[in-house]
Structure 1
Amino acid sequence: MTFFEGAIILAAGIVAGIINVVAGAGTLITFPTLLALGIPPITANVSNTVGLVPGSIAGAYGYRRELRSQWRPVAWMAVFSAVGGVVGGLLLLILPEGAFSAVVPFLLLLAAILSAAQPRVARYVRRKAPDDDDDDADADAADTRPVTFGLVLGILGTGVYGGYFGAAQGVVLLALLGILWSTDIHRANGAKNVLAGMANLVSAVIFISSGTVDWAVAVLIGVGSAFGGWLGARVGRRLSAPVLRAILVIVALTAAVVLFLT
């Protein structure tokens, strides 16, 4: 690896760290960058997953204030994200490359639609929920519900995808959390960073034990993503909900188009 190539990977890690925290599609920056530098796909994928873990930790820490009263449900959701991450990491090492690629663009299109319609869909879900309290109908719209079985299944599924590849996993997670858990988009974003980071972490452990990690690449992405995650948390917390939602829709649609064309 030349100095110039290392600088490119470091810069990609910084950008990916910011995007992952704010929206959740940083892999679409780092993974193509690694491929363009001639790194084999599997090596690029596992090294990228390991490298993005520090960024996820920095992003989750940056949103600690929004999650202050919600660590118990977030911890439970993180357990299912971890289980999915283990399954996804093992599938990457077992299945043929690209086995899930056909469905990913459609998943991102769905995430874009859900992100755009999240406030209305969330209100509809709460109205239809059997445990919804009518006395709270006029309460603050940014409420948080208990973790439901449907949300657990969604988190488990995104955990599998995150462990397997993970491009724009956060976009899908944030759509799910915003509709089924909390209409406070910043709280949902903080939880998203924890859950995506957990899937990354457990799959990274699997990849490290497999001996397929390029440590030079992983360290450069790790340093960059940690700084980007810290910066992204500062930026993301200052964005209004409509602006953040617009960014999510744009990122999801862009990611879907990129994956459709590749």
Structure 2
Amino acid sequence: MSLAFIALLFVAGFLSGVVNAIAGGGTFLTFGALTLAGVPPISANATSSIVQFPGYITSTLAYVSELRQIWKSAVVLALISAVGALGGALFLISLSNPTFRDMVPWLLLAATAVFAAGPWLRPKAAGESHAASPLGIAMQAATSFYGGFFGAGMGIMMLASLGLASGGSYHRMNALKNFLSIVIAAVAIAVFTAAGAVSWLHAVIMVPAVALGGWAGVSLAKRAPQALLRWLVVAAGTGLAIYYFVTG
């Protein structure tokens, strides 16, 4: 691997950590950089899951007190999420790289649209927790399947589904989202690792970069113009989709 590609992966990982800490959407950058570095699409997707995993853990630790208040809902939704993620990950590795490559631009466009619509999809902060509705549980299962399969834009989709599945304040739902992201990613990583789909060399380069970016992003979160960062991520997702359409 050339120094240029090592630098590309490190910078993409660092920026991914920053934007995840501030606005979300870092998967667009890690997946894009890995494919540009020549990693096959399925392996790039699997490796991106590894790269993002530490950030899910640190984000969840910041919400331990909120999770303690809703641990019963968290356990139920974790079981549902694990099953959904398992199905999505198994579906991914059942595909060939060319088949998945043909799906990538459409997945990126869909995830970019969801990400752009994030402010309208997020539930309002007010409200109390409620019994999970069948629709909310079904949406969480579908979101988990998507997360195990691809993952970009999963956080926004999950906040919307959790509004139906559990309700409650925004911070409680965000705490659930971060915790369930660990579950979904852990299941997917186990499947991808067993299938030999992870490029560990690329992961080793990007994991510390994402961690550094996440640490730096915390200090920027309160000062950065989040609307600008959101649209930069949307531009990156749209650009990647166009790139895969053109080169496909």
TM-score by length of 2: 0.78
Please give the alpha-carbon distance, in whole angstroms, between the structure 2 residues aligned to 1:69 and 1:154. Answer: 23
CA RMSD between the two structures: 3.2
* Contact 2:122-2:160 at 8 Å conserved across structures: yes
Deviation at 1:43, TM superposition (A): 2.0
Cα separation, partners in 2 of 1:86 and 1:43, compared to 1, 3 Å: same
What amino acid does structure 1 have at the position aligned with 2:238?
V
Aligned to 2:185: 200
Letter in 2 for 1:88: G
Higher relative contact order (CA 8 A, sep 6+): 1
The answer to whether residue 133 in structure 2 is matched with residue 148 in structure 1 is: yes
3-state DSSP class of the match of 1:35?
Answer: helix
Contact 2:122 2:159 survives alignment (8 Å): no
In the alignment, what sits opposite 1:10? 10
Q: Give the structure 1 partner of residue 197 of structure 2.
A: 212
CA drift at 1:16? 1.9
Which of residues 132, 137, 143 is equivalent to 1:158?
Answer: 143
Number of the residue aligned with 2:73: 73
The structure 1 residue matched to 2:100, chosen from 86, 97, 102, is: 97
Name the aligned partner's letter for residue 211 of structure 1. Answer: G
SS in structure 2 of the partner of residue 198 of structure 1: helix
What CA distance in whole angstroms lies between the structure 1 residues aligned with 2:228 and 2:85? 26
Moved more, 189-198 or 141-150: 141-150
Deviation of 1:183 after TM superposition, in Å, equals: 5.3
Show structure 1 runs of 5+ residues with no match.
123-139
Q: How high is the sequence identity, in percent, across the aligned residues? A: 31
Contact 2:32–2:240 (Cα < 8 Å) also in 1: no
Q: Kindly indicate whether residue 94 of structure 2 is the aligned counterpart of residue 109 of structure 1.
A: no
Equivalent pair of 1:116/1:249 in contact (CA under 8 Å): no
Does structure 2 conserve the Cα–Cα contact (< 8 Å) formed by 1:54 and 1:223? no
Deviations 1:56-113 (A, max 9, x none): 1122112323333122212221222221111111111112314654366346535644
Report if aligned partners of 2:55, 2:214 keep a CA contact under 8 Å in 1.
yes
Deviation of the 1:258 alpha carbon: 4.0
The size of the alignment, in residue pairs, is 238
Residue by residue over 1:93-144, the C-alpha shift from the partner in whole angstroms, topping out at 9 and shown as x without a partner, is 112314654366346535644632645xx6xxxxxxxxxxxxxxxxx92433
Kindly provide the amino acid, as one letter, of the partner of residue 220 in structure 1: I
Taking a change above 3 Å as real, the CA distance of residues 51 and 260 of structure 1, as seen in their structure-2 partners, is closer
Letter of the 1:170 partner, please give it.
Answer: G
2:119 counterpart letter in structure 1: S
Task: Kindly provide the CA deviation profile for residues 194-249 of structure 1, in whole angstroms up to 9, marking residues without a partner as x.
Answer: 2222211111111111122211111222223334445556765x58xxx87x5797
Structure 2: 5+ residue stretches without partners: none
1:21 and 1:233 in contact (8 A); partners too: yes
- Residues 47-58 of structure 1 mapped to structure 2, 5 A cutoff: 47-58=47-58
TM-score relative to the length of structure 1: 0.75
- Conserved in 1, the CA contact under 8 Å of 2:143 and 2:154? yes
Distance change (3 Å), C-alpha of 1:51 and 1:151: same
